[in-house]
Amino acid sequence: MKQSEFLNVVMPFKDKLFRLAKRLLVSREEAEDATQEILMKLWSKNEKIGNYKNVEAFAMTMTKNFCLDRLKSKQASNLKLVHSNYGDDNASLQKQVETRDSLSWVEKIMEDLPEQQKMVLQLRDVEEYDFDEIGELLNMKPTAIRVTLSRARKTVREKLMQKHSYGIG
C-alpha cells in the first residue's frame, strides 16, 4: 500500500486512537507517544493492512493492548486516567466551572471502575462505538457489553448523586 493510501485509511480515526490512549494513560505526552507508536506499527504492517476486515477496530485493539501493557509496566506505575475533550464557548463562566467540576468527578469515578467497565464506558459513551464494534474490540458478547455498560453507568450515576447530595464524595 502506498503512503497516500495508508494515510487515507488510517488518518480518519487517528483522533480516536489518541482519545483512547489519553483515557488510559496519564498525560497528553504519553497519549501522543502511544498514538505515534501505534501508527508506526500500523505502517510496518502496511502491506497486510488491506487484509483486515476493519482496520479501525484492529488499530483500536492495538491501542488498547499497547496502553494496558504500558500501564502494567514498572515505568508507568503512576499513570492514571485523563480525559478533557469537552468545551463550550457559549456557556457562562459559572456553567463552565460546574461542567469542569462534573467532568473531573466523572474522571475520578471512572478511575475506580473495574478495567472492563472503564473500557466499555469509554468506547460506547465517549468514542460512540456501537455494540458490535465494542464486541470485536474487547472480545465480548453484546449482552455482556450491555450489562457491563449498565453497571458502569449506574456506578457513575450513584457516585455523582452522592457527591451532589452530600458535597464532597
pLDDT interval class at 61 (50, 70, 90): confident
Residue 125 DSSP code: I
Find out if CATH 1.10.10.10 is the number for domain 92-169: yes
Q: What is the mean pLDDT of residues 142-169?
A: 83
- State the pLDDT at residue 71: 75
- State the pLDDT at residue 82: 42
Same fold for the domain at 1-82 and the one at 92-169? Answer: no
Q: What is the mean pLDDT of residues 71-83?
A: 49
So where are the chain's domains? 1-82, 92-169
Give the count of beta carbons closer than 10 Å to the beta carbon of residue 164.
11
Distance from C-alpha of 51 to C-alpha of 99, rounded to nearest angstrom:
43
Tell me the whole-structure pTM to 2 decimals.
0.53
Residue corresponding to grid cell 499497547 = 66
Distance from C-alpha of 116 to C-alpha of 29, rounded to nearest angstrom:
24
- State the pLDDT at residue 1: 62
Q: Tell me which architecture the domain covering 1-82 has in CATH.
A: Orthogonal Bundle (1.10)
Residues near 35 by beta carbon (within 8 Å), at least 6 away in sequence: 14, 17, 18, 21, 63
- State the pLDDT at residue 75: 44
- State the pLDDT at residue 141: 94
Residue 111 has pLDDT above 60, yes or no: yes
